[in-house]
Amino acid sequence: MMYMIRRFILLMTTILLVSMITFGVFQILPGDPVRTMLGTEADATQIENLRSELGLDRPLYEQYTDWIKGLLTGELGHSIRFSMPVKDLLLDRLPVTMSLAVLTLTIVLMVSLPLGMFAARRQNKLSDVSLSTLTQIGMAVPSFWLGMMLILYVGMQFSFFKISGYIPWSQSIAGALSTLILPALTIAIPQIAVNFRYVRTAILEQMQLDYVRTIRSKGMSERNVMYKHVLKNAMIPILTVFGLIMAEVVAGTIIVEQVFSLPGVGQLLITAISNRDFPLVQGIVMYITVAVVVINFIVDILYSVLDPRIRLR
Amino acid sequence: MKQTRNWVFLMLLLLLGVMISACSNDNDKKDTNKVPTNVPVTTDTPQEIVVRINDDPDFLDPHKATASISYQMILNIFEGLMAPETDGSLKEGLAESYEISQDGLTYTFKIRSGVKFHNGEDLTIEDIQYSFDRLMGKNGGEKMSNNFDNVASTEAPDTTTFVIKLKEPNSNFLYSLTARQAAIIPKSNDGKHNENPIGTGPFAYVKYAPGSNLVLKKNESYWKEGLPYLDKVTFAFQSDDQAAIMSLMANEVDLTSVPWQRVNEVENSHHLSHQNNNSSLIVTFNETKAPFDNIKVRQAMNYAISKADIIDSVFAGYAVPLGSNMSPAMGDYQKKGLEDKYKLDVAKAKALLAEAGYPDGFKTKITVSSHNDIYSNIAQIVAANLKEIGVDVEIEVVEWGIWLDRVYFGRDYTMTTIDLTGRASAYEILNDYISTNDSENFFLFKNEEYDNIMADVLKETDTAKQIAYYQRAQEILAEQAVSVYVADYQIVWGSDKQVIGLKSYPFWFHDMSEVKFSN
């Protein structure tokens, strides 16, 4: 219980600090939301009207305290660029980003775990060496480039894949997959490379320990040695890396959504920043902060599940 | 044990497959690209179009919107008393006919009968009164536009007549009555014009998903018999030009602008149409700051900057050179020949600089926006051109928001480049941004003769005489070397070969009313 309360206080402090930093950056950043939105065609009347309508003529600290008050009552305010509640915009786009993140993580897990195990067992053999080389390349590839290549050489070749936009799950499951698989692969490939290397190392470390020799000499099958003992013990360091990867994936969606024109939270963030849409940026930054803190929280809990000796305090 | 190994092997195969397809050469790519156009055409082609647009609309409320990009879409929903024609002239819209009094002060409109809003209500004179009151801020709200400051009064003597009285004659006034400036919207929808826009146009609003798309459907009871043909129009937002052209090739969008350098990739598989944008791309200066307050320096710039270089390398040749703000797209209004007034001449440019007191050139800075590559590309050519006459140009690339703040509104700059958006009205093209009575005059040009012309032309009702005024105005712009008027670039539209009936206007408007898919 104490642990939960402390976690919650930590979350609140993080949110407050992050929001203050965002606010501070917005103070320094040149550019005006109303002018950016209306462009060169607006006359002075229209600019003034909109500014007072949005409450942007009030002092900045007042806009910030209002925002904080709203946050405490669960309100994220109104987007300047889209003239609708930030909450609606976020809720509209969260399913896209969430699906993308979950799909990416599934791919990363499904590929990197077995590959890592495979390579560890065949340490220094040709398959291990070639896999390690491949992953070296995978880590070095920038995701925007990878996305473009996947569009060109996979998306354009197979009519199944959509290279832009998003089809909701509720409309068609195949449709949703056709829009999400390529972006998910784009984020996943470099992360697979990272995770693969950690899995391989973690398993190799366990394999050299005394208990492995003992259970082997006891006559336990190689299969049971791997799954019942080695893998379980190797999970702790893997989990740590996986927590980091999850945070990477959340960040990775920002670039990838841009490349694939996916209407997710990341794309919204870019629009919000270039339009100086302060309430919207704050809302999205809150989402990312909460997501990262929650991921870390889950990882901490999983530690104690995997290794009962670890107690949450 | 064996099973595991099989599984691992399968995974490896999968990964390998992805890698191989990622490396496959583009021989088979060309074949598959052609597939969509080779597909046998069925007789029941769905009349649904997807049009790619660069960005979201700023507002759907036609009185609140200001960005050209918004009107590009929403002019399909709304109509005004007058309607634009593709050649830049006007015809009757919701007004069946109109009369202008001798003194040019009273405009009397006869309203078309049998027009219905998308919500099924009839268009009434109250709705027209309401729309103008709303624009002028007369029904409680704020004034929404400066266009009607010259209106003395509006009245509706009977149910089909609407009268507008002006304070001073204004020969350009009818241009303020199109849907772009004064859309007619239903009174019953007050307070919801942005959330649920309702108009009388050929298409009705269905749904707007920010960052994703704007969906319109056919207005079944449109007053123009038999129109529109399309059942559904989707404006899909995609900011990246390169991604958009791939969507076009993959048949996910039916109409998009094509980056000039990539025209050859789609010219066989798609229909291309070239629209003279009617914008003027300029390299301009802050005319109150030295050295550009000196006309000789500005003329030297005009002699030194090569329009041909810019047109060839930035627009791949898809542009026409200009000599003033006015593009050839405006027909008779354009003064011909001004584009050759300053032929590329480095020696002359150097001589002019020397006369102006800068025999060794000077250092300056060009500030350009990053929201489109064309500006920084142009800046690089300008810098190279000016180096030849000893002028050292530093290029500063800033975000669009910062450009607006610092250059456009703040006027804190020495040189910049931008394109001034096309307008249907010659008056607006020449007055906006340039005359001192316009608040958007961001290059701070000041010329008494010019201002007088722009004032006098409004009192002139004879078109031939108006044209004479406008042509003189263009001469002044060239003589004074107000800017380097570079080019009107074309927008190359790539569309599905089955799409017919696209129209191009001298401003941004995707008119979908007569578009259909042929069988």
Closest-CA residue of chain B to A79: B210
The residue with tokens 């026409």 is B320
Give me the mean pLDDT over the B344-354 stretch: 90
Closest-CA residue of chain B to A113: B8
Which of B68, B70, B212, B280 to probe by mutation at the A interface, max A CB count within 10 Å?
B212
Could you give the count of Cα atoms lying within 13 Å of B321 in the half-sphere of its Cβ?
20
The alpha helices in chain A, defined as continuous H runs, are: 2-28, 33-38, 44-53, 60-72, 86-121, 126-140, 143-150, 173-207, 210-217, 222-224, 231-259, 265-274, 278-306
Q: How far is A71 from chain B (nearest CA, A)?
A: 23
Instruction: Collect all residues of chain A within an 8 Å Cβ-Cβ radius of residue B33.
Output: 156
Q: Which of A20-24, A248-252, B408-412, B437-441 has the lowest mean pLDDT?
A: B437-441
Q: What SS3 state is found at A181?
A: helix
Q: How far is B396 from chain A (nearest CA, A)?
A: 15
Q: Which of A250-254, B78-82, B356-360, B373-377 has the lowest mean pLDDT?
A: A250-254
What is the pLDDT at residue B429? 85
Name the strand (E) or helix (H) holding B104.
none
* Nearest residue, CB atoms, B143 vs list A45, A152, A260: A45
In this predicted model, which residue has the larger pLDDT, B461 or B9? B461
Residue A71, pLDDT above cutoff 60: yes
Give me the mean pLDDT over the A135-153 stretch: 86
What is the pLDDT at residue B206? 93
What is the pLDDT at residue A132? 85
Tokens read off for A156: 């354009």
Report how far residue B161's alpha carbon sits from residue B164's, in angstroms, rounded to the nearest whole number: 10
Which of A46, A143, A178, A273 to probe by mutation at the B interface, max B CB count within 10 Å?
A46
Closest-CA residue of chain A to B63: A46
> Which amino acid does the sequence have at A18?
V
What is the crossing angle of helices B2-23 and A86-121, to 10°? 120
Q: Which residues contact B132 (CB under 8 A, 6 or more apart)?
A: B138, B148, B151, B154, B164, B182
Tokens read off for B137: 């801020």
Report how far residue B499's alpha carbon sits from residue B519's, in angstroms, rounded to the nearest whole number: 10
Cβ within 8 Å, pair A165-B24: no
Cβ within 8 Å, pair A35-B409: yes
The 3 state secondary structure assigned to A74-122 is: CCCCECCCCCCEHHHHHHHHHHHHHHHHHHHHHHHHHHHHHHHHHHHHC
**How many Cβ atoms are within 10 Å of A221's Cβ, its own excluded?**
12
Percent of chain B clearing pLDDT 70 (strictly above): 91
Residues paired with residue B164 on neighbouring β-strands, in sequence order = B107, B154
What is the pLDDT at residue B31? 37
Q: Is the CB of residue A186 less than 8 Å away from at least one CB of chain B?
A: no
Residue B23, pLDDT above cutoff 50: no
Cβ within 8 Å, pair A49-B144: yes
**Interface size between A and B, measured as CB pairs under 8 A:** 165
Q: Is B486 exposed, middle or buried (0-12, 13-18, 19+ CB in 10 A)?
A: buried
If you average pLDDT over every residue of chain A, what do you get? 84
Q: Which of A289-298, B117-126, B230-239, B252-261 has the lowest mean pLDDT?
A: A289-298
Instruction: Collect all residues of chain A within an 8 Å Cβ-Cβ radius of residue B210.
Output: 82, 84, 89, 92, 263, 268
Instruction: Collect all residues of chain B within an 8 Å Cβ-Cβ radius of residue A50.
Output: 64
The residue with tokens 């590559």 is B373
Q: How far is B496 from chain A (nearest CA, A)?
A: 17
What is the pLDDT at residue B22? 43
Report how far residue B507's alpha carbon sits from residue B488's, in angstroms, rounded to the nearest whole number: 12
Cβ within 8 Å, pair B252-A164: yes
Q: Is the CB of residue A3 less than 8 Å away from at least one CB of chain B?
A: no
The 3 state secondary structure assigned to B124-146 is: CHHHHHHHHHHHHCCCCCCCCCC
Closest-CA residue of chain A to B32: A157
Ramachandran angles phi, psi of B404, nearest 5°: -60, -45
How many helices and strands, by DSSP H and E, does chain B display? Answer: 15, 20
* Nearest residue, CB atoms, B22 vs list A154, A159, A258: A154
Closest-CA residue of chain B to A272: B211
Q: Is the CB of residue A170 less than 8 Å away from at least one CB of chain B?
A: no
What is the pLDDT at residue A131? 86
In this predicted model, which residue has the larger pLDDT, B485 or B147? B485
What is the pLDDT at residue B76? 92
Q: Is the CB of residue A259 less than 8 Å away from at least one CB of chain B?
A: yes
Q: How confident is the model at residue B27 (pLDDT cuts 50, 70, 90)?
A: very low
What is the pLDDT at residue B11? 54
Q: ipTM surpassing 0.90, yes or no?
A: no
In this predicted model, which residue has the larger pLDDT, B465 or B8? B465
Tokens read off for B71: 């009107």
Report how far residue A83's alpha carbon sits from residue B58's, in angstroms, rounded to the nearest whole number: 9
Q: Is B127 exposed, middle or buried (0-12, 13-18, 19+ CB in 10 A)?
A: buried
Q: How far is A11 from chain B (nearest CA, A)?
A: 30
Q: How far is A260 from chain B (nearest CA, A)?
A: 8
Residue B198, pLDDT above cutoff 70: yes
Give me the mean pLDDT over the A71-87 stretch: 83
What is the pLDDT at residue B408? 85
Instruction: Collect all residues of chain B within an 8 Å Cβ-Cβ radius of residue A46.
Output: 64, 66, 144-145
Q: Is the CB of residue A45 less than 8 Å away from at least one CB of chain B?
A: yes
Whether B57 contacts B76, CB under 8 Å: no
Which of A45, A150, A152, A262 to probe by mutation at the B interface, max B CB count within 10 Å?
A45
Is this structure's pTM higher than 0.80? no
Report how far residue A306's alpha carbon sits from residue B8's, in angstroms, rounded to the nearest whole number: 25
Closest-CA residue of chain B to A118: B8
Cβ within 8 Å, pair B24-A157: yes
Cβ within 8 Å, pair A92-B400: no
Give me the mean pLDDT over the B240-269 stretch: 87
Residue B243, pLDDT above cutoff 70: yes
Q: Is the CB of residue A57 less than 8 Å away from at least one CB of chain B?
A: no
Q: Is B360 exposed, middle or buried (0-12, 13-18, 19+ CB in 10 A)?
A: exposed
Give me the mean pLDDT over the B135-146 stretch: 79
Q: Which residues contact B391 (CB under 8 A, 6 or more apart)?
A: B304, B353, B361, B362, B363, B364
The interface residues of chain A toward chain B in range 268-287, judged by CB-CB distance below 8 A, are 268, 271, 274-276
Report how far residue A296's alpha carbon sits from residue B167's, in angstroms, rounded to the nearest whole number: 69
Instruction: Collect all residues of chain B within an 8 Å Cβ-Cβ radius of residue A81.
Output: 56, 58
What is the pLDDT at residue A144? 83
Whether B167 contacts B152, CB under 8 Å: yes
Closest-CA residue of chain B to A193: B15
Summarize pLDDT for A182-213 with one digit per residue, the tens: 999 999 999 999 888 888 888 888 888 888 88
Percent of chain A clearing pLDDT 90 (strictly above): 5
Instruction: Collect all residues of chain B within an 8 Å Cβ-Cβ radius of residue A37.
Output: 58, 67
Residue B310, pLDDT above cutoff 80: yes
Q: Which residues contact A89 (CB under 8 A, 6 or more apart)?
A: A79, A82, A268, A280, A283, B210
The residue with tokens 């007055």 is B431
**How many Cβ atoms are within 10 Å of A273's Cβ, its own excluded?**
19
CATH homologous superfamily of A90-311: MetI-like (1.10.3720.10)
Whether B64 contacts A53, CB under 8 Å: no
Which of B298, B316, B271 has its CA nearest to residue B490? B316
What is the pLDDT at residue B216? 93
Summarize pLDDT for B462-500 with one digit per residue, the tens: 888 888 899 999 999 899 888 899 999 888 898 888 888
Tokens read off for B429: 């093209």
What is the pLDDT at residue B437? 66
Dihedral class, residue A87 (left if φ above 0, else alpha if ψ from -120 to 50, else beta)? alpha
In this structure, what DSSP letter does residue B329 have? G
Hey, where are the domains in chain A?
Answer: 19-86, 90-311
Cβ within 8 Å, pair A41-B143: no
Residue B47, pLDDT above cutoff 50: yes
What is the pLDDT at residue A313? 59
Q: b/e for B185-219, b at 16 or more Cβ within 10 A?
A: bbbebeeebbeebbbbbbbbbeebbbbbbbbbbbb
What is the pLDDT at residue A57? 78
Cβ within 8 Å, pair B209-A83: no
What is the pLDDT at residue B366? 93
Instruction: Collect all residues of chain A within an 8 Å Cβ-Cβ radius of residue B194.
Output: 83
Strands (E), B182-309: 203-209, 213-218, 232-237, 255-257, 271-276, 280-285
If you average pLDDT over every residue of chain B, what do you get? 84
Give me the mean pLDDT over the A32-57 stretch: 77
Strands (E), B327-387: 363-369
